[in-house]
Chain A
Amino acid sequence: MIIEHIDAQLPGTVTDRHAFRGDQTIVIAGEHLLAVVDLLHREGFQLLVDITAVDWPEREQRFDVVYHWLNLASQERLRVKVPVADGGSVPSLTGSFKTANWFEREVFDMFGIGFDGHPDLRRLLTWPDFPGHALRKDFPLDGGDVFCMEGCTAPYNNGERGGR
């Protein structure tokens, strides 16, 4: 239903859509995001549920920033995906949704996607000089931590080395 409104009032912004398992999903480009968000806000989609991202490294526009909205009156949900290239950025939604503040910080921390207009874009889950962005597909799971690998030394007895 909301997708018809978007098509009617902002024609041509929706580049792709599907409703897999009943979840309405649209894909739009970054420059139309603020206009679509404005429309959603007016149509009653007041609760911004989640902002996250997915990394598809083979694609040219590597990341998909994924937003989820909930309309409290009609209980309708909508997923909006915005493709972004590596090193690119997306407009920030902190102006109209205060909840976007920390969600966007987390996406920046985990993926390295910038958000234009965010008042305080710094890392949220890792420490300030953490090397890299953790959820990217080319970041290893153990982050280069030598102790995560097999066959590492296991200390016991307060540091006196056993084994090895």
Chain B
Amino acid sequence: MTTMDSIALSRQMLDGDKMIVNMGPSHPTTHGTLRIVLELEGETITKATPEMGYLHRGVEKLGESLSYQQFIPLTDRLNYCSAIMNNVGYATAVEKLLDIQIPKRAAQIRVLMSELSRVADHIVCVGVNAVDIGAFTAFLYLFKQRETAYDLFEMAAGQRLHTSFTRIGGLFRDIPEGFVPLCERFLVECAEAIDELERLLTKNPIWHDRTKGIGVISAEDAVNWGYTGPSLRAAGVPQDLRKAQPYLGYETYDFDIPVGTTGDVFDRYLVRVEEMRQSLRIIRQVLDRLEPGPVMVDDPKVALPPKEKVYTRMESLIHHFKLIMHGMEMPVGEVYSATEAANGELGFYIVSDGGKNPYRIRVRPPCLPIFSSFESQVKGGLIADAVAVLGAMNIIAGELDR
């Protein structure tokens, strides 16, 4: 039965007071295409059926016919608001499979870029959540900072949004000359912008009315629904992979994890704002201890040799040829590696059969369990609350549907 038929049929079965409203798949919010069919009685929601898959592009299947290095641009387009974190997550997974260590400078720059992306992602989430509720100014003030972050990404990787900055074994290239001064300027300006945002929203009675007590979830429920990331921390569970299962040297940085109490939209907003401040703190520490060194592992079986050597030495030419034509030599086995992305635990489950292409790549999307709990969060509430809850969940369709 087609979806239109089932809606028509349920319309017949409802009594006169109920109404069906369709939110999406084409809708004004920028969360990407998803569809929620709401059954309303007046303005109260009696049933909410979310539907997804409108951006399902077949990334996992495509990964089976691409080499490990060729999959990196596809990972960019998963959570497109913070592309570098996906790159880092995937590269970490393949490096775990290969059991290689990346150089220290590469790890530090990965941390730096990840935290920049985290700030950028939270800017989008908080900004868009505010716009949905009606507070447009916060969005405009924050987006100016996002433009500076874009400038930083463009300086480092050559692209504003889909950076593809990491490679298996390290980074695409080292950060250029003007990066560090611009980054220092960004730290100062972004801190001021976050202060401005807090002045606009945190003590605003309209914001309190629209977000406090909306979308409340308890800690046990959040864990049972599979929440991870800011939504889980807002519910009171202090789970952050950067502290709990550190990677890339996160145990050497000094930062705090904001934890909320009720899990409602206001708590999620506060957790995200505080996380932005903590990210700026981490970036400050990385800039202070950045030391010169290589950014790519020195293993010719994994990393392409530099061009000067390829043109002048025979073994480098042969390594280059083998890497491009036959791919890296992968062990047979499977790994699951998770990093703390902006939305939660971004996991990559890679099954390798020793060949050039992965046998199976699975991307564990952090926002799928969060979106699946949508009905339980909005049932009995008003339509306006559904919009606020959807904004606070930070659903990115690229990651949700892959």
Contacts and interface: CB of A to CB of B under 8 A. Distances in A.
The answer on direct contact between A and B (beta carbons under 8 Å) is yes
Interface of A: 20-21, 23, 25, 46-50, 52, 54-55, 66, 68, 72, 75, 77, 79, 97-99, 101-103, 106, 110, 123-128, 134-135, 139, 141
B335 A50 contact: no
A75 B401 CA distance: 28
Given A20-B333, A134-B61, A97 B347 contact: no
21 contacts: A23-B334, A23-B335, A23-B336, A50-B362, A68-B349, A75-B244, A98-B225, A98-B226, A98-B372, A99-B225, A99-B372, A102-B371, A102-B372, A123-B53, A125-B56, A126-B53, A126-B56, A128-B2, A135-B61, A141-B58, A141-B62
Contact of B224 (A66, A77, A99, A103): A99
B336 A77 contact: yes
Contacts of B360: 54-55
B96 A68 contact: no
Contact of B52 (A21, A66, A98, A124): A124
A68 B369 CA distance: 14
Nearest to A100: B226
Interface in B202-230: 220-221, 223-226, 228
B17 interface: no
Contacts of A77: 336
A79 B351 CA distance: 13
A49 B345 contact: yes
B359 A54 contact: yes
Contacts of B52: 124-125
A5 to B, nearest CB: 20
Interface residues of B, number: 45
B373 interface: yes
Given A99-B226, A135-B61, A124 B96 contact: no
A110 to B, nearest CB: 8
B56 A68 contact: no
Most buried by B among A52, A79, A123, A134: A52
A123 B228 CA distance: 24
